[in-house]
Structure 1
Amino acid sequence: MIFFILLAASGAAAATGVLFKPGAWYVALQKPSFTPPNWAFPLVWTALYILMALAGARAAFAGGPLLGLAMALWALQIALNTLWTPVFFGAHRIRLGMVIISIMWITIAILMGVLWQIDWLAGMLFVPYLAWVTVAAALNGSIWRNNPDALRS
């Protein structure tokens, strides 16, 4: 049951991608050469959301003294994940998006370590997510640097 609850939370984060699409503003931005193709984003995010829910469910099943911390960090990272899309794509706030994704990256890294202590496989299931958010943060940073006229205060 916990898997489906965490998957539903992930689905709420995913819904922001439907509500706040990249659109013409994003297409016009100067992006780095390592920008993934547009078709990759929904495929990768779908897989990552499933892995995140599975990791959280494994940790919940394993239990232990760090479970409360793990679930709090899990909730924080999904909240930040949910917030980033409307800030970046909806409000076009590139700098604020960079702040959010940086905090998200730190939260995911800490969560991964906590999960590893609860259930090593749960920790490993977060490795692809941290890797993808690393790419997304580098992309956000590059867009920030290369598009000074697109910045909003």
Structure 2
Amino acid sequence: MTSRRYPALVVFLLVTFAAAAIGSTATFPNVSTWYPTLNKPSWTPPGWLFGPVWSCLYLAMAVAAWRVWRKSMIGNAAVTAWLYGLQLVLNALWSVLFFGLKQPGFALVDIVALWLLLLGLLVRFWRADRIAGALWTPYFLWVTFASGLNTAIWWLNR
């Protein structure tokens, strides 16, 4: 791997953590006020777990997308970048809908769309680069779990 490829990695990391910052901005004001008032299932993870998990996931997903983008430079790099950007939008939008607007039902619609896109990206990433697929898998699994949690919270609070 040549050093020319590292600036693109930095861009993937910056864009990814910018989406994380948008989500965090929507989340923080209500995570300690509104969220504790919701009925939640017994299997809800403790609040302190979300920050470290998401930080690791954002790092892994940026590296995974960069690896696939780099391997698809000949023809599909733009498609990879566009799909990755779209999932970042849906990812950040979920926080805005769920925490910012306090709308678990709308957030559920968003997370279902996100999950479907992530599934497609998981297949794409595994085909392009096994390391990228392995890096993407925890994100997909976490969003699968989060989808169930979102569904349960919506159901318990409707």
TM-score (norm 2): 0.88
Note if 1:23 corresponds to 2:32: yes
For residues 65 and 110 of structure 1, the distance between their equivalents in structure 2, rounded to whole angstroms, comes to 18
Structure 2 residue corresponding to 1:90, chosen from 82, 90, 100: 100
For residues 76 and 123 of structure 2, the distance between their equivalents in structure 1, rounded to whole angstroms, comes to 11
Q: Is contact 2:70-2:77 (8 Å) kept?
A: no
For residues 144 and 99 of structure 1, the distance between their equivalents in structure 2, rounded to whole angstroms, comes to 11
SS at the partner of 2:34? helix
Give the C-alpha shift of residue 25 in structure 1: 1.2
For structure 2, the residue ranges without an aligned partner over 5 or more in a row are: 1-6
Structure 1 residue corresponding to 2:9, chosen from 3, 28, 31: 3
Aligned to 1:38: 47
Give the C-alpha shift of residue 102 in structure 1: 0.5
Q: How many residues align?
A: 148
For residues 47 and 59 of structure 1, the distance between their equivalents in structure 2, rounded to whole angstroms, comes to 19
Q: RMSD of the TM alignment (CA)?
A: 1.3
Q: Is contact 1:60-1:67 (8 Å) kept?
A: yes
For residues 90 and 153 of structure 2, the distance between their equivalents in structure 1, rounded to whole angstroms, comes to 19
SS at the partner of 1:34? coil
Deviations 1:48-81 (A, max 9, x none): 0000110011112212544333222111111101
Note if 1:47 corresponds to 2:53: no
SS at the partner of 2:147? helix
For residues 137 and 69 of structure 1, the distance between their equivalents in structure 2, rounded to whole angstroms, comes to 26
For residues 146 and 115 of structure 1, the distance between their equivalents in structure 2, rounded to whole angstroms, comes to 35
Give identity over the alignment, percent. Answer: 36
For structure 1, the residue ranges without an aligned partner over 5 or more in a row are: 149-153
For residues 81 and 126 of structure 2, the distance between their equivalents in structure 1, rounded to whole angstroms, comes to 13
Give the C-alpha shift of residue 107 in structure 1: 0.4
Give the C-alpha shift of residue 19 in structure 1: 4.0
Q: Is contact 2:126-2:132 (8 Å) kept?
A: yes
Which moved further from structure 2: 2-11 or 82-91? 2-11
Report the AA paired with residue 11 of structure 1.
Answer: F
TM-score (norm 1): 0.91
Deviations 1:74-121 (A, max 9, x none): 111111011110111010111100000110001011011111121121
SS at the partner of 2:45? coil
For residues 69 and 18 of structure 1, the distance between their equivalents in structure 2, rounded to whole angstroms, comes to 28
